[in-house]
Amino acid sequence: MTAPEVKLFNTLTREKEVFVPLTPGQVKMYTCGPTVYNYAHIGNLRSYIFPDLLKKLLAFLGYQVTQIMNFTDVGHLTSDADAGDDKIEKAAAALGKSAWDISKFYAEAFKQDISALNIAFPSRFTYATDYIPQQIDLVKALEDKDLTYANEDGVYYDTAQFSDYGKMAKLDLEGLQEGARIDADGKRNKTDFALWKFSPSDAQRQMEWESPWGKGFPGWHLECTAMIFAELGPTIDIHTGGTDHIPVHHTNEIAQAEGATGQPFVKYWLHGEFLVLDQNQRMGKSEGNFVTLQTLIDAGFSPKAYRYLCLTSHYRHFLTFSQDNLKAASTAYFKLKRTIEHLHAQDDRHPEGAAEYREKILNALCDDLNAPKAVGLIWDLVQNDQVGDAHKLVLIREFDQILSLDLLNFTDYPELLLQIPDEVQSLAQARWEARLAKNWAESDRLRDLIQAAGFQMRDGKDSFELVALDA
Ligand code: AMP
Ligand code: ZN
C-alpha cells in the first residue's frame, strides 16, 4: 500500500491542504510552548497533544521530523497590549523566589506533565532567555527595514509599514485603527507591538539585558521568531499553537519574520481549539478556574485516560471538560484495554479484514488528525469477529505508536477496577445499556445480580461507577 496523503487544516487559507514538505522527506516544526510561571493546566496540555499526534504520524509515514518547542521564560506580559507585569517576574515576587528559579521549576513540571501524557519530547526544548543576542539581531534587522520606532516604553514594530499585517487572522485593521492613530501608550497604531521593552526606571527587574536601545527585555512574540530562525531557519513547514494565538502572537510572528527576511515564514499553521468548562467558559490560568494534571491524578484518574478523552474529540473542536466526561472516558479507556487484554494471540484468521482496518485508521489520521474516528475504528476492530485477534494485536501495536495510549500495557488498571471481577463489569455495562434503552425490567434484573455479587452501581449523568457494597 502506498502511503496516503496527509491533509492538514491550514489557518492561513482556512482549508484542508495536502501536506507537501519544503524539503522532501523532512519536516521542520515549531510548537509554541508554555509560559512557565505556573503549572500548566489541562487545557494547555490539550494543545500539546495534537502536535504530538502529528509528529508521530509524520514519523510513522517515514518523514524525518525536527520539532522545536520553547519555554517562554521572560517577556510574556499580563496584557496582550504590551502593558502590565511580566508574568514570571510577578509570580517570582508573589512567591519570594527568583524569576530564574520560578521558570526553571515550572519548565521541569511541564516536562513531567507531558511525559505522563505520553507526549514525546521535541527534538529540542529552547528557553527564550538563551536566545537574547539572536533576538537583538532580529530587532536590528527590522530596524534596517524601517519597520520599527522607539518610544519611552521600548522599541515597537510599526505594523502600518508591513502590508500583509493581520492576513492570517483576517483582522479588520481599519476598524481597529479608527480613532487610535496616536495611542495613549505612545504607539503609532493600535496593533503595534513591543519588540524590546525598556526596564522600568522605578523598579529593578530580575531579568534584563543591555541592548543598542537601552537596558530591557524582549517581547514575547520576538522570542518565538528568533528561536525559529536560530534552530530551523527562515521558513518552516509547520507551526502549532492554540487558537488564542491567531490574532496577536502568531500575527506578530509573521510580521516579524516576513518583515525581516521578505520570505514566507510558515507553510502550514495549525491551531488547537480550547478545552472549556460548562457554558463554554475557557479554562485559563488568568481565569482562575484551572485544573492541573496532578489534580486529576490525585482524584484517581490516569493521565492516559485524559489523553483518551482528548483523542475522542477533534483537535479543532471545543472539548468540554467535566468530571463526568472524564469518568466516562476513563471507563471506556480501561474497558478497551481489558478487551484487548482478552484477545487471543494465536487466532490468525482473516488477515484481509485487518488490512482494511489498517487503511481506514491511517486514512482517518491522515485526514487532519481525525483521532476520534481512529479511536472509533479501534473499538470496531477489537469487537469484529471477522478479523483474527492476532491481526488485531498487530494493528493495535502499530497505531499505538501514534495514539500513545499504552493500549498493550495491562498493568496500570486503577485499583478498584482490579478488584471488580470481569463478570461484574460486564453485568454493569449491560445494565447501563439497558438503562439507556429504558428497559427498566432488564436493568433491575441486572442490578440485582450485581448486588448479589457484592457490588453496587452509582449512576451519573453520562457514566456509572461500580463500588463494593461495603465501601
Ligand atoms: P501559555 O502557557 O499561556 O503560553 O499557553 C500554552 C498553550 O496553551 C498555548 O498554545 C495556548 O494557546 C494554549 N491554551 C491556553 N488555554 C487553553 C485552553 N483552555 N484549552 C486549550 N489550549 C489552551
Ligand atoms: Zn510562540
Sequential DSSP letters for 253-265: HHHHHHHHHSS--
How many angstroms is it from 114 CA to the middle of ligand 2? 18
DSSP string, 6-62: PEEEETTTTEEEE---SBTTEEEEEE---B-SSPPPHHHHHTTHHHHHHHHHHHHTT
Ligand 1, atom 15, lies closest to the CA of: 44
Which residue from 345, 329, 334 is spatially nearest to 425, judged by alpha carbons? 334
Shortest-distance ligand to the CA of residue 249: 2
Report how far Cα 242 is from the mean position of its chain's Cα atoms: 7
Element (H, E) at 441: helix 440-452
Query: Which atom of ligand 1 is the closest one to the Cα of 32?
Result: 10
How many angstroms is it from 320 CA to the middle of ligand 1? 15
- In the chain, the percentage of residues whose pLDDT exceeds 70 is 96
How many angstroms is it from 192 CA to the middle of ligand 2? 17
Residue 316 confidence (pLDDT) above 90: yes
Shortest-distance ligand to the CA of residue 107: 1
Q: Where residue 333 falls among pLDDT bands split at 50, 70, 90?
A: very high
Give helix 371-383 / helix 389-403 axis angle, nearest 10°. 160
Question: Do 114 and 121 touch, CB atoms closer than 8 A?
Answer: yes
Question: Do 282 and 276 touch, CB atoms closer than 8 A?
Answer: yes
Q: CB neighbours (10 Å) of residue 85?
A: 13
How many angstroms is it from 311 CA to the middle of ligand 2? 24
Q: What is the rounded CA–CA span in Å between residue 226 and residue 222?
A: 6
Which pLDDT score, from 0 to 100, does residue 416 have?
A: 67
Which residue from 419, 399, 421 is spatially nearest to 408, judged by alpha carbons? 399
Query: Which atom of ligand 1 is the closest one to the Cα of 243?
Result: 12
Shortest-distance ligand to the CA of residue 50: 1
17 by Cβ neighbours in 10 Å (0-12 / 13-18 / 19+) ranks as middle
pLDDT in tens, 132-180: 999 999 999 999 999 999 999 999 999 999 999 999 998 877 666 654 5
Ligand 1, atom 9, lies closest to the CA of: 242
End-to-end Cα separation, the chain, in angstroms: 54
Which pLDDT score, from 0 to 100, does residue 418 have?
A: 66
Which pLDDT score, from 0 to 100, does residue 1 have?
A: 57
Give helix 303-311 / helix 49-60 axis angle, nearest 10°. 80
Average predicted confidence (pLDDT) for the chain: 91
Q: Which residues contact residue 365 at a Cβ distance below 8 angstroms, ignoring those fewer than 6 apart? A: 53, 57, 371, 374, 399, 402
Quickly list H helices, 217-322: 220-232, 251-261, 293-298, 303-311
- Considering only residues 279 and 25, tell me which one the structure prediction assigns the higher pLDDT: 25
Which residue spans of the chain are classified as CATH 1.20.120.1910?
317-403
Query: Which atom of ligand 1 is the closest one to the Cα of 282?
Result: 19
Q: Where residue 182 falls among pLDDT bands split at 50, 70, 90?
A: low
How many angstroms is it from 335 CA to the middle of ligand 1? 30
Ligand 1 surroundings by CB, under 6 angstroms: 32, 34-35, 43-44, 46-47, 72, 241-242, 244-245, 274-275, 282-284
Residue entry with cell 521568531:
225
Residue type at 215 in one-letter notation: K
How many angstroms is it from 224 CA to the middle of ligand 2? 5
Range name among 79-88, 173-182, 184-193 with the lowest pLDDT average: 173-182
DSSP 78: S
Q: Mean of the pLDDT values across residues 462-466? A: 79
Cα-based angle 23, 27, 33 (whole degrees, multiple of 5): 145
Which residue from 111, 124, 109, 102 is spatially nearest to 31, judged by alpha carbons? 124
Name the residue of 103, 113, 244 whose CB sits within 8 Å of the most ligand 1 atoms, as the mutation to test its pocket.
244
Q: Which of 113-122, 178-187, 279-288, 289-298 has the highest mean pLDDT?
A: 113-122
Name the residue of 44, 71, 76, 283 whose CB sits within 8 Å of the most ligand 1 atoms, as the mutation to test its pocket.
44
Q: Where residue 183 falls among pLDDT bands split at 50, 70, 90?
A: low
Pairing of strands 455-459, 464-468: antiparallel
Question: Do 306 and 326 touch, CB atoms closer than 8 A?
Answer: yes
How many angstroms is it from 325 CA to the middle of ligand 2? 30
Q: Which residues contact residue 425 at a Cβ distance below 8 angstroms, ignoring those fewer than 6 apart? A: 335, 338, 417, 466
Which residue spans of the chain are classified as CATH 3.40.50.620?
7-151+160-171+219-276
Q: Mean of the pLDDT values across residues 379-387? A: 94
Which pLDDT score, from 0 to 100, does residue 94 have?
A: 83
Specify the fold of 317-403: Four Helix Bundle (Hemerythrin (Met), subunit A) (1.20.120)
Handedness of CA 294, 246, 73, 122 (dihedral sign): positive
Element (H, E) at 457: strand 455-459
Q: Where residue 388 falls among pLDDT bands split at 50, 70, 90?
A: very high
- pTM, full prediction: 0.88
Q: What is the rounded CA–CA span in Å between residue 332 and residue 340?
A: 12
Q: Where residue 51 falls among pLDDT bands split at 50, 70, 90?
A: very high
How many angstroms is it from 12 CA to the middle of ligand 2? 16
Specify the fold of 7-151+160-171+219-276: Rossmann fold (3.40.50)
Query: Which atom of ligand 1 is the closest one to the Cα of 245?
Result: 12
Pull the grid cell for residue 215: 537596558
Q: Where residue 353 falls among pLDDT bands split at 50, 70, 90?
A: confident
Which pLDDT score, from 0 to 100, does residue 177 have?
A: 60
Question: Do 182 and 188 touch, CB atoms closer than 8 A?
Answer: yes
Q: Where residue 264 falls among pLDDT bands split at 50, 70, 90?
A: very high
Shortest-distance ligand to the CA of residue 222: 2
Which pLDDT score, from 0 to 100, does residue 470 have?
A: 61
Cα-based angle 38, 42, 43 (whole degrees, multiple of 5): 95
